[in-house]
Amino acid sequence: MPPTVEIYTWSTCPFCIRAKALLDQKGVAYREYCIDGDEAARRAMAERAQGRRSVPQIFINNHHVGGCDDLFALEARAGLDPLLGSR
């Protein structure tokens, strides 16, 4: 069964673009919530993300991974593929 990947973004955010590029490179389907200027959506994201209001915020199978740097750090320590169920 494929993982459920969710990413909260801002359309012009370079970190969001970079995080999505890594997921795309891995062939991962994800649901994107573009929250440009939507304060209610940002509050909902922050509630899920343990108070973090920066974008992107990434969730895999409802597990909060964090932001772009967190995603790349997870990849660097070979922890991303197991979460994605690919290896």
Q: Is the pLDDT of residue 11 over 70?
A: yes
pLDDT digits (tens, 9 = 90+) for 24-74: 999 999 999 999 999 999 999 999 999 999 999 999 999 999 999 999 999
> In the chain, where are the structural domains located?
5-84
Name residue 5's beta-bridge partners: 60
Six token digits for residue 55: 């974008």
Domain spanning 5-84 has what CATH number? 3.40.30.10
Q: What is the pLDDT of residue 1?
A: 82
Is 33 in contact with 4 (CB distance < 8 Å)? no
Q: What is the pLDDT of residue 26?
A: 96
Q: What is the pLDDT of residue 87?
A: 46
Query: pTM value?
Result: 0.94
